[in-house]
Structure 1
Amino acid sequence: MRTTESPHDPSWEVRMLEAAGVSTEEERVYRLLVTSFETEPGRIAKRHGLEAGETLRILESLHAKGLVSRMSGPTPRFAPTPPDVGFGPLLLKGQESLEWARSAVAQLTEEYRSSARRRDAGQLVEVLTGAPAIRQQLRNLQLGAREELVWFCKAGHVAMTSNDNTEEFDALAAGVRYRVLYERALLEEPGMLENVAEGIRHGEVARATADLPVRLVIADRSIAICPLVPVADGPGEPTAALVRESSLLAALLALFESYWDRGSPVRLTESRPGDPDAEDERYLLSLLVAGVTDKAIATQLRISQRTVQRRIHDLMRRTHAQTRMQLAWQVARLGWLDAPGSTSVEGDLP
């Protein structure tokens, strides 16, 4: 039967100081000195059944480590250094060695992973099966992110709805940047615009586009999750790829950036004194440019569809636009949806 040592095992007790660089025999001798305080090498040798020369060698080693001191007199005698004084430098040295060892292990681990990735594609791409597994990994990515998360958000969902993603607000509060590109059809789903607006108020940077090729999230430019099979392709379990640093991940990053550059900003700003409609007006423009329907905009702003159309026509009149397409062009030219603090041709909304 397999047994394990415990603090009640005497053999375990005399190996407690190995981490400080003290051998088993040195610890036995030191413990004897602690209990007797001062003694001769001969008594120690007799007590432990050692040769006199071996006992003296152990005492000299303890002396070199600062754990015992030699007493003056005709017969050599040794006394223990107080443990808190003697072991302090040894433990500090042990801590430094441990930190060096941890650093070396971390470096070796990264070298191992790099080598494994070159030889085994399974180290680069892991297949996640089932909504719970995908949802857990999405949460892990957000909890572990330190700098930035980027998202492609398509209509429908595979494992986590936007309302379920409470980790985003925690990450934003911790200083993690979110860049989220929304598909137009998703913005038109019930309650989605309100959810997007809440994210923007917490610090999310949002843009919209007509269509997205895939669902995607990338954390700190080092790991990504991308569903493998479209939701509508069958009743089976959803699957997703967990992609680590590789040429594939670099391609996914490039794909995100290319779509992000073409996306239209979804903007909320604080209302200015004397202009209480500024926030709604800028939000309305960003949704209009993104192609969101008048009905969805009206629902989000809690106004009638007729009021949305009236505001749009008023903006067209102010920008001398004959069509909504011309209005979108003028909005871009005037910089009305530019990031706060950026320079535009005409400045703020008139």
Structure 2
Amino acid sequence: MGKTTYMKLKGSQNLRQRLVLSTLASTPIVIEDIRADETWPGLRPHEVSFLRLLEKISDDCVVKINETGTKLKYEPGIVNGGKHLVHDCGVSRSVGYFLEPLIVLGLFGKKPLSIRLKGITNDSKDPSVDTFRSTTLPILKHFGVPSEGLDLKIECRGAPPHGGGEVFLSVPTVRSSLTAVTWIDEGMVKRIRGVTFSTRVSAQFENTMIHAARGIFNRLLPDVHIFTDHKAGVQAGKSPGYGISLVAETTTGCFISADSAVSYARGDEEGEIEDEEKKELMPPVDVGEQIASILLGEIEQGGVVDSTHQGLLFILCALCPQDVSKVRVGKLSPYGIETLRNIRDFLGVKFVIKPDPSTGTVILKCVGCGLTNLSRKAS
């Protein structure tokens, strides 16, 4: 056996994405100085949980963390996929934090992936599970991912701080590789769909959010439907919360989303829960209006995806066959820019970035790295 060569990285930023790209590119990595200067140094509970999840879905992957948690060695294995897997995501980040990397890795697994994730389904930090179902999964179809076997079922809702939600994700494997895209026409918005949720609060909160959001949209287009999803009993998780997820569908099959959730905060890093009496939650009417305005802002920016999905879009383009992919996005988000850097470092794919002054959007082109799913069993 030869000596393993590691790519050396520093800091905690974009840890999840670095691990995903390291796995896809089969590049072992060492990350040092993970929050070394902070009061609570080292890896956070959700990052450790994500590493455990990688161990669950892959064969022969090696994870070594030093005592303080400030240094991580990761040697990727082969993504296995598998059925009937279960993972508890904990309550320091929501299920949304784990879904995006799972979807990307699942596509290049040996077997299709089906996994039950437990934890928080809706919070204000990560995209909600509703957004994944309505927006993230349709993006994959543009890249030739079969819609058969691609599904996300929300079985129980869970709001912070105590969670208690449960979702079931299934991801098919790609036959050999993704399909390169030319996706630069965002089209016009033809309809808006959405879903509100409430757990352990009055169902009336949902009607108030819908009424507030519709008050803004009805001036702009007639086809607006927002559904309610009030959960009770076991399905309502362990904490009170409510929120709304909206998605605008365009004439060219783009989905632009925005979502928000309101619940009692998780408190500080030590995991202290704030005293529930102290904090006034944002009224439902404000939640509805605010998220409708955020969605209009995303639509106004232009582009075929919203700002939270830029990173995923760029990764999918970079993983395509050695053919040109061309996409249009609105203003590049900081996360999108970091993603472009990580793609260059791990996959050696560089994007040509060309602003389009007439629309205020940006057109990106790249030649994919030609990643093929070698581990998939031939049928």
TM-score interval, normalised by the smaller of the two chains: under 0.3
TM-score after normalising by structure 1:
0.23
Q: Relative contact order: is structure 1 or structure 2 higher (C-alpha 8 Å, sep ≥ 6)?
A: 2
Q: What is the TM-score normalised by the length of structure 2?
A: 0.22
More strand as a share of residues: 2
Indicate the structure with greater helix content.
1
